[in-house]
């Protein structure tokens, strides 16, 4: 059955992909296992099964998300073909949804960001604060350990195995985040001498999970009155990463530094935030004009 193949596929995939990727695979495959064809034999699943499933799922989620689900399902069937569990890959005949014209990123204002953190509960407050102050991705924060937090150097280390690009990076902490994490650390009872305790925990003391984060974030969004009602539906946790970048650029932080902090693979990815610094180009041209020194009293007066 498809459900049984999922379990075997995950055993094969574990250790062959990054931990963050594997965590996402589990989540996507769990959704696929609940599909109408979840109890079917691999060779009995047709392209029509996936097409109908995709069309039904499109009512509740984006085409881009469904495309990622289909890509993972296709990887499962390619593996099953190699292992002799399936004769064909039905996903080869399943069309993907167009991702042209995808909704643009949603950004919070500084007031909305502060109020969102203030509206969150005791479990979510430090997590959302860290997301806004570091621009770290959800998975990077979920896997953050106390040994990754350097209070003396005021830095947080994201290890390669937990980062999307797989390179790892060091993120400086704001003074506010430093104080928040110091307080959090003082309230915690040390369990692991090697610092392998998770930074963010549930009220029960168990490590915080993606489901807990999603529910806690949704509650905070509903409780945040400063975010307009029509905007709340569009704000997702990843919006905090975009907002972090926009705040830095608007404050005059060079795009190269923003790229390093966020862990972008290329500077081109960071350029999406360039419009938050509308004065940067004008300032550069003004400096060029001063360097050239071609301005005369009459042209200067005309410019004014």
Residues 131 and 72 in one domain: no
Predicted confidence at residue 32, as pLDDT, reads 95
- Which residues span the domain enclosing 230? 110-280
Predicted confidence at residue 284, as pLDDT, reads 67
Residues 194 and 51 in one domain: no
Residues 242 and 126 in one domain: yes
Residues 57 and 158 in one domain: no
The CATH number of residue 75's host domain is 1.10.150.130
- Residue 291 within any structural domain of the chain: no
The pLDDT of 123-143, averaged and rounded, is 95
Positive or negative, the CA dihedral 62, 63, 64, 68 is positive
pLDDT tens string 205-248: 899 998 999 999 999 999 999 999 999 988 999 999 999 999 99
Residues 115 and 32 in one domain: no
- Residue 59 within any structural domain of the chain: yes
Which of 62, 93, 124 is the endpoint of a domain?
93
pLDDT tens string 28-75: 999 999 999 999 999 999 999 999 999 999 988 888 889 999 999 999
Predicted confidence at residue 101, as pLDDT, reads 57
Residues 116 and 259 in one domain: yes
Residues 20 and 119 in one domain: no
Residues 130 and 271 in one domain: yes
Pick from 105, 110, 184: nearest CA to 144: 184
The CATH number of residue 201's host domain is 1.10.443.10
- Residue 296 within any structural domain of the chain: no
Residues 87 and 159 in one domain: no
Predicted confidence at residue 239, as pLDDT, reads 95
Residues 67 and 135 in one domain: no
pLDDT band at 120 (very low <50, low <70, confident <90, very high): very high
Predicted confidence at residue 30, as pLDDT, reads 93
pLDDT band at 108 (very low <50, low <70, confident <90, very high): very high
Residues 241 and 124 in one domain: yes
The pLDDT of 257-270, averaged and rounded, is 92
pLDDT at 297 over 70: no
For the chain, the domain total comes to 2
- Residue 295 within any structural domain of the chain: no
pTM over 0.85? The answer is no
The pLDDT of 152-165, averaged and rounded, is 92
């Amino acid at each position: 059955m498809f459900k049984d193949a999922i379990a075997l596929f995950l055993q094969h995939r574990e250790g062959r992909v990054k931990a963050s990727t594997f965590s996402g695979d589990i989540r996507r495959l769990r959704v696929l296992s609940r599909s109408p064809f979840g109890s079917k034999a691999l060779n009995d699943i047709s392209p029509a099964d996936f097409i109908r499933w995709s069309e039904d799922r499109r009512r509740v989620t984006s085409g881009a998300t469904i495309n990622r689900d289909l890509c993972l399902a296709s990887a499962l069937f390619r593996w099953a073909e190699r292992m002799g569990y399936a004769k064909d890959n039905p996903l080869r005949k399943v069309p993907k949804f167009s991702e042209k014209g995808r909704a643009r990123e949603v950004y919070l204002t500084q007031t909305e960001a502060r109020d969102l953190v203030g509206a969150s509960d005791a479990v979510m407050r430090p997590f959302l604060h860290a997301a806004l102050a570091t621009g770290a991705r959800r998975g990077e924060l979920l896997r953050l350990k106390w040994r990754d937090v350097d209070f003396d150097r005021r830095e947080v280390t994201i290890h390669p195995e937990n980062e999307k690009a797989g390179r790892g990076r060091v993120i400086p902490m704001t003074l506010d985040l430093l104080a928040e994490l110091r307080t959090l650390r003082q309230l915690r009872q040390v369990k692991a001498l090697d610092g392998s305790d998770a930074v963010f925990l549930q009220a029960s003391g168990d490590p915080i999970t993606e489901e807990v984060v999603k529910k806690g974030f949704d509650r905070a969004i509903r409780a945040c009155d400063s975010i307009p009602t029509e905007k709340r539906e569009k704000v997702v946790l990843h919006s905090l990463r975009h907002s972090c970048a926009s705040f830095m650029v608007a404050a005059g932080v060079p795009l190269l530094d923003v790229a390093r902090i966020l862990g972008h693979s290329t500077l081109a990815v960071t350029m999406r935030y360039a419009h938050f610094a509308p004065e940067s180009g004008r300032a550069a041209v003004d400096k060029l004009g001063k360097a050239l020194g071609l301005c005369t009293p009459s042209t200067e007066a005309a410019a004014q």
